[in-house]
Structure 1
Amino acid sequence: MSTATARYTGNLRTEATHTASGNTIFTDAPVDNHGRGEAFSPTDLVSAALGACMMTIMGIVAGRHELDLTGVSFEVTKHMAAEPRRIAQIDLQFRMPASLSAKDRTILENAARTCPVALSLNPEIRQQVQFLYE
């Protein structure tokens, strides 16, 4: 079974459907590349997927250690290179509970940095990850 199906809907937009769940996402080209910027661009999705993957892996590890990460959040900023047009850097800033011990922080940060998306991205894409404990 396929992971997803997608179709081009015109005007630099796509509609993709997750096969197992039926959930749908839309993409639009960014304003700086002929689009309207009214939805995630494909490179926005890659950047957000990195953060979501890191957060998911931290959640798995937190469950093993009986840690509650409810409310953890991240902000992602994507930086593009011009020639060739590609993602040059992804900045992620996680907001984590201040109550986590130094040991738990190390375990979670290491888990995040070894998520499948992080390990799958081209090594030329700089991944700047920051953990803020508040």
Structure 2
Amino acid sequence: MPTLKSSYLGNLRTQMKHLQSGTEVITDAPVDNNGKGEAFSPTDLVAAALGSCMVTIMGIVAEREGVELSGMTWEVTKIMQAQPRKISEIIVDFEWDAGTIDEKIIQKLKNAAKTCPVALSLDPNISQTINFNF
């Protein structure tokens, strides 16, 4: 069964519908690549997926360890190269007040993030710079 159904809306814009939830996402080409930049670009979604996947997998570990990740935030920076045009680096900066959480659990969270499915699926030529500020 398909995961999503998509359509081209014209003017370098696409619409995707997640079939299980009905959630829709629109993409737009970025301004530096002939688009309007009015929505996530496809490569923005790749970068966003890395951060979200990392936190999701950390959340699974945190629940198992009895730790609450509420309040964790992150910023993602996507760096493109010109020839050929592709993502060259994704930087994820995590911020979280870990309080008095044991260092062994902190290390488990970091390891979980670095081995999330998206991190493992990205081309090894895409540099993943991950900063854990906790």
* TM-score, normalization by structure 1: 0.97
Quick one: distance in 1 between partners of 2:62 and 2:85? 37
Q: Quote the offset at 1:122 in angstroms.
A: 0.2
Partner of 2:116: 115
Runs of 4+ in 1 over 3 A off after TM superposition: none
In the alignment, structure 2 segments of 5+ residues that lack a partner are none
In structure 2, give the amino acid aligned to 1:42: P
Q: How does 1:32-51 map to 2 (within 5 A)?
A: 32-51=32-51
Find the residue that maps to 1:78 and give its secondary structure: strand
Find the residue that maps to 1:130 and give its secondary structure: strand
Q: Quote the offset at 1:97 in angstroms.
A: 2.0
Quick one: distance in 2 between partners of 1:103 and 1:72? 18
Q: Does the alignment pair 1:101 with 2:90? A: no
Q: Quote the offset at 1:123 in angstroms.
A: 0.1
Report the count of equivalent residues: 133
Percent identity of the aligned residues? 56
In structure 1, give the amino acid aligned to 2:31: V
Partner of 1:22: 22
Partner of 1:52: 52
In structure 2, give the amino acid aligned to 1:116: P
* TM-score, normalization by structure 2: 0.97
Partner of 1:64: 64
Find the residue that maps to 2:79 and give its secondary structure: strand
Quick one: distance in 2 between partners of 1:39 and 1:77? 16
Q: Quote the offset at 1:98 in angstroms.
A: 3.0
In structure 2, give the amino acid aligned to 1:125: I
Find the residue that maps to 2:78 and give its secondary structure: strand
Partner of 1:86: 86
Find the residue that maps to 1:55 and give its secondary structure: helix
In the alignment, structure 1 segments of 5+ residues that lack a partner are none
Quick one: distance in 2 between partners of 1:84 and 1:108? 35
Q: Quote the offset at 1:96 in angstroms.
A: 1.8
Quick one: distance in 2 between partners of 1:17 and 1:118? 24
